[in-house]
Structure formats: structure tokens, C-alpha cells
A and B are shown apart, each in its own frame.
Chain A
Amino acid sequence: MTTADTRSPAIADLTADVFVAGGGPAATWAALAAAEAGADVVLADKGYCGTSGATAAGGTGVWYVPPHPAEREKAKASREALGGYLADRRWMDRVLDQTYANVNELAGVGRYPFPIGADGAQIRRGVQGPEYMRRMRIRVQRAGVRILDHSPVLELLADASGAVAGVAGIRRQLDTGYRVRAGAVVLATGGCAFLSSALGTNVDTGDGALFAAEAGAELSGMEFSNAYAIAPAFTSVTKTAYYSYATFFHADGTVLDGAGSTKGRSVIARTLMAEGAVLCQIDRASEEVQRQMRAGQPNFFLPFDRLGIDPFTQKFPVTLLAEGTVRGTGGIRIAGDDCSTSVPGLYAAGDAATRELICGGFTGGGSHNAAWAMSSGSWAGAAAARHATALGATARRREIRPLGEAGLRPAGTPGDPGQYREVVAAVQEQVLPYEKNYLRHGERLRPALDSLDATWTALRAGLRGSGAERFRAREAAAMAAHARWMYHSALARTETRGMHKRADFPEQDPAQHHRLLTGGLDTVWVAPESASAVEVAS
């Protein structure tokens, strides 16, 4: 493969105080915080830090609420019921404070050009993805962080005690391996959208959750993993905000009653299943609103302008694309205020971590994910730096061993390197269909899980990648693991709460007012938080 001279030369063995996996908002805020705490930091992204991940492509509203008691109270109260009362007000306060500080820093030192409102003050409630993330890259570089682009992490390294001591990965454009010994590692690899092509998410295959589980960490809230977003049919653009100005129709042009962007999304799903098509027209936007939409989110219009559709006057077909845990809330369990996990030396931030702490079991709409990414990133980065400092030079002298298993070190006879494609297809078949994942029912979840468990058993035995694309096998394994944690948890939660809606248990059950933890790889367990883990049959 040819390479460009802008890339740094081949690097095989590095040492750092802090290693950050990922290159989105969570990773860049983590790298900044660690560097500002005096740590020597290496950040590696699967893609390019600045364009990779859900924020860079999409842009986000941010939970930016000035510290006025009444406004803060309203902000906290607004989501508690939707999230099934699984959030924690103390964490909301922390995230609101940290997000307020980070966004102000982005406006100040970061010189992000927030628009000016009628009152002459900047409006800081949202960011355009490309602009935000190119500025974060520049800041991270100026802070002295070494960035490895196109360098997916493949696995964690641990010392004899099980503490995380570094990572191994590959530089895909150079087809060479790399290894970083580090005092602490931050996982900021995003959520998992199962390669659905929802905007910017195909790099988000849940890798960090797999790494964490291999190191012995738990996950939380994995039943809250069935976010689906509206997009013009056959496109990737899952930008949903402006559909609040839309009317939805049957294919024959009659109005589809009850269909809407949030509450009525299940109506859209049912109609897509029953009738094969749903049409949409953004017919409730005045000319002024139309103009504001173009200024606010230009990427919303890319499909329309390029396909020659006027979305305000013409009906166009829509679909729902899975966004899994990207706009769900499940992820690696956070064990402390500093975003530590239960494994020493391992920290988690952004979509890789659970967001239940601030929004319980629901997030679609509300800017919490963006706020969480920057806040948790800052905390994880600072704490990782402290951890590394406390270890001092001993960190570099530790005996290290690799932790990667599925997709990397098959337990049986290695299969064909192209096998990852079949695994991806098998997982997608169980997690993308609306009738399995979105409109959940025990009768459909159970066989889907059986199929996923069988996929896991087979991949564990033989899946292995090769060459520069060998991280594909790890992605496939991560997706399969993710799907199994999701459905084990979804079956265990025999009620409807947050975004997890069970047709066979349509009510919220006060006896299940707790978070669900899950974990394990060959044998998956699920347990209520704070109770001891019990194994469930897989």
C-alpha cells in the first residue's frame, strides 16, 4: 500500500504515561486533560482524529445550561421520567458544571466560532462536527500529545496483577503493528452502531467494551441499546431534529397518524415493516425556519440537494437506521467519580461508557451524550494522569501480557481471514431488524440471542484476521459481544423502561427500578446493580 508523507514514520514500541484509545470528543478531551496534568500522552484513533466518530460527521446539540438554579433544575427534571428514573442527580450536577466549563473553554482557548444571538451573546448550545473536531485535534497537538491516526487498538495489555498496562494495535496504512506501554489507559472508542451506516458511526463497533470485558470490567445498561434514527431512505444522514417540523405519510399519500420523530418513531417502524415505505415532508416549517435549518445544520440537506428533492414541498421516503449504543445509553460501567472502571489503570469515557448516570435509559434528543463525552473525557484523562504519576517509573518495568481473545487468538483451528464478513452479517441479522431490537418481545429476543450465542461460539473457535485489515475480525467479535450483552440484558429486564420497550411487558415495574450490570464473554451474566453477580444460562 502506498503511504502519504504527512504520516509519522513507522513506530513499533512506545511508552507513555497515558494512552487514549479513540479520537472523538471523549478521547480528545481526555488527552487534553491528561496532558494538562503533566502526563506524556499517546492517542490512537482507528480513523483520523478530527473526522472520525459520530460527532465529527454529525455535529451535536450540547447540554449547556448556565448555572442558574431554576434553569439547572428544569434541565435535570426534564429527562428523569423518560430515562425511567435511573439517572443520578449528583452526576447530572457534575456533568452540567463540567460541560459548562468545557464549552466555555472551547469558545475561549479553542476559539470555536459560536454564533452570536440577538442579545449579542454567543449561543453555545450546539457545535458543528467538522469545526469542533478539527479544533480539538489542533488543541490536542498543541498540548504535545502524540497522535497515531489510522491506528486501531486491537487489545489491552495487563501486568501480572491484572492492572492495565498498555495496548497493542496496528497502523493500517503502514501494515505494521504497534505497542504502547502506559501507566493508564482511557477507552474512548465510542458506542456500537453495528455498521448500519448511520452518520459517522461505522468506526463505532464497540471495540472498547470488548477490550474492557477481556480485562474483567463490567457493563451497565446494555438493554438501553436500541436507538433508531430517521434518515432519508438509502442514505446515511440520521439527523433527526428537524423532523419535528415534518408530517409522515403512507405510500399512498395519506397522513400516517401518530408518526413522529420521537414518540411516534415506533409507528414509523411498524409501518415500514407492514407497508414497506413511509413518506415524509417537512411541511410545517415557515420560510424563516427553513432558512434557519440550512444555517443550523447544512449536512441535513446534503441528501436532498444531491438527489434533487425539495423536502419542504415534496414527499420523500424515509427509513430508520440503528444507532445501537451510540444514541443508546449502555456501556462500560463507571466505578468512580473519576471515570475509573473496576480494573486498575483502566478508565472509560464518552459513548464507550454508560450514560445512565445522567440520563438513565433514554437519550435520543437532549444533548446529554455530547455533554457526557466532554465531561467524562476530562475526568478520565485527569485521573489516568494521576494514576500514571502514582505508579512512576515502575509502570515501565512491569511484565506485560496481551489480553485479546476473540477474533485475535482463536481457541480452535483458525478459519478463513474473510470470515469476519459472515460474522458481521450474522450479527446484523439479529440486531438491525425493527421487530427484534426496536419492538422487543421475549419470543423474538430469545431465538435472536440463541443465534448470537452460536455465532459467538463459532467465532471464538476460529475467527482471526490478517494483514492491515486484521482489526476487522476484532470489530466483528466486538459487535457479537455487544449484541449478546444487549439481548441478555433485554431479556432480564422484564418490563418497559426508558428506550427498552417490551411488548410482552408493557408496564414499568417498580420492583425493577435498578440498573442492570452485565459482562462475561463465553458465559454472559446479568445482575442488578449492587446485588452480587449471578450467572444466567446462555
Chain B
Amino acid sequence: MEDKISKIKQNFEKEEGKISPPELRIKYLGRHSELNGLLHELATLSDAQKKATGSSINKLKKYIETQLDSLESLSDNSQPSEDFDPTLPGNKPQVGSLHPTTKVINLINQFFIYQGYSVYEGPEIETEENNFGKLNLPSDHPARELMDTLYIKQPEYLLRTHTSSVEARALTNEALPIRIVVPGKVYRNETENTTNNSMFYQYEGLLVDHGVNMSHLKGTLIAFVKYLYGEDVKTRFRCKYYPQVEPGVGLDIECPFCLSVGCMVCKYRGFIEILGAGMVHPNMLKSCGIDHTKYSGFAFGMGLDRLVMTKYEIADIRKLYNGELVTL
């Protein structure tokens, strides 16, 4: 038996370079191979012999397999099959992408979540009370008319004109202290053009706690603007009027197109306004049931669309939301 086994090994080694590996595999490992035949003969042997011979057969089998494996892998590289053209393009998987506005919201959320804010939401169909009344905008306040509200049922129900309505809800319903940011859709009754759409996005922030003052607002906004525009961005804090806040702040960044010299883009201001902010008006705190002698807070709000448009080089706001935007 052992002789037969070593004979098979010799034959294999002789033929190794001459016959193709698949043929060798059939001849030496196939069902009708000599080696397989020997396995059947094992039955005739004594137990002790069975064990010894069986192990020799298995050893040879393993050896042949290893040899064949390495031969095959060699031949794969050295002799590519004729129809294999590695320069053909790959099969790209279809990959989906998020809308640019969602991406910008995620980017900004990331900053504020790290600062301890919760992402908060509210309805788009609002009451006059939450959209105006609680925000220190009593009826007959000129700002109400300036906002060109879309009404569902005048004067009570409307489409929110700003995300500040959610501040009123949060201040009324959530426990203090509070830190929230609110991204969301807002609506205005506007003639649509490249810069105006009846629906657009705002991003609102609110922090109310003990001992909050304008230095905290300034610190937060500067850190945020640096996060968004880079460490070297130049900012300008202006006094600005918003009914919901007192004192009010307008935050500008240096115009990146003219570096504050003045150009068409910044309307020769040298700066571009990016958000409005201020200390929450005591009337607003009061109307939401908060003791303004114990708590103070700041709020800020910004339009998101211009940010998205600048980042993704989109010239027409309508294209963001009318299905003409193809994400690559």
C-alpha cells in the first residue's frame, strides 16, 4: 500500500507542470482517482494498518490539494482569461444622498447638541397667539403686516412666519432651564423669485437659565460662527430691533467677496448679515408664564436657505424646493 501511495506522489510531481490544474485535480483527487481507489481497499486491512495507511493517504491528499491551489492561483495571475478587461468601469452601487438643507441642519445641530441644546420642533400651522401674541407682537404691531402672513383662517390660524413660534411653545411647556434649537419650515405670502420662496427654512435657538446675559450670547454666537465659517472669520455685532428681544443684536460677518471694502453682493455694506439675536424680551417671558426677575435668556434666529445656497452654489432659492435639485 505505502508503495502505491509514494508512486502516486511521484507521478503527480512529474505531471505537475505539464497538465492543467483542473485536469490534475480530476485525475488525482476525483472520484475515480487511484487515491480514492486506495481508500476503498483500506477495508481489507487490519485495524492498526488501517490507521497508518489512512493517515498517509490523507497526508498525500492534502499535499496535492495545496500544490494545486497554489498552481491555480499562479495561473490566474500569469494567464488572465481573454475576456477580462480590468479597465472596464466598475459596477457602481446606487448611493442616495441627503438634501443639502438637511445636511446643513445636521451640521448646525452637531454644534449646538455639543453645547447642550436639544433639537426641538413645533407645528407649522400655528395660532396667532404663538406666532405673534406671545412674542411681544400685539395686534396692530407693524411687524405683523411686514411679515406677509399666509392665513388659513383669519385672524386665528396661520402658517407660522418664523420658527420663533416654537420658542413660545417650548417656554410655555418645558421645564426650565432650557436650551433648544429649532430647525424648520416657515411661510410668507411673497411673490416668488430667485431670492424669495413662499416656504423657506429658519433655524432658531433659545437658552433660558439663571444669570444669562449678553456676554453668553456673544460667546455662543462667536463660537458658532467660527465653527461654520472658520477661525479667521471677522464678525460685527450691531444693535438691532426685533420685537421678541431687548436688547437686540444683528450679527454680521465680513463680506467674503470684497473683504469689507464693499461690493454688489453685500450691497456696499462690507458685511453680510447672517442672524438676528438678543436677550429674550421680558414681555415674552411673562406671556409664557416665566418670572423674568429670576430667569433671563437669549434667542437667535437665522435663515438657512442662503447658507445652503452659498455652500452648494445654488443661485435660485426656488430650485431648492421645487424638485429641480439633482443631488450627485
Chain B associates with chain A: no
| Interface residues of A, Cβ cutoff 8 Å to B | none
**B contact residues vs A (CB 8 Å cutoff):** none
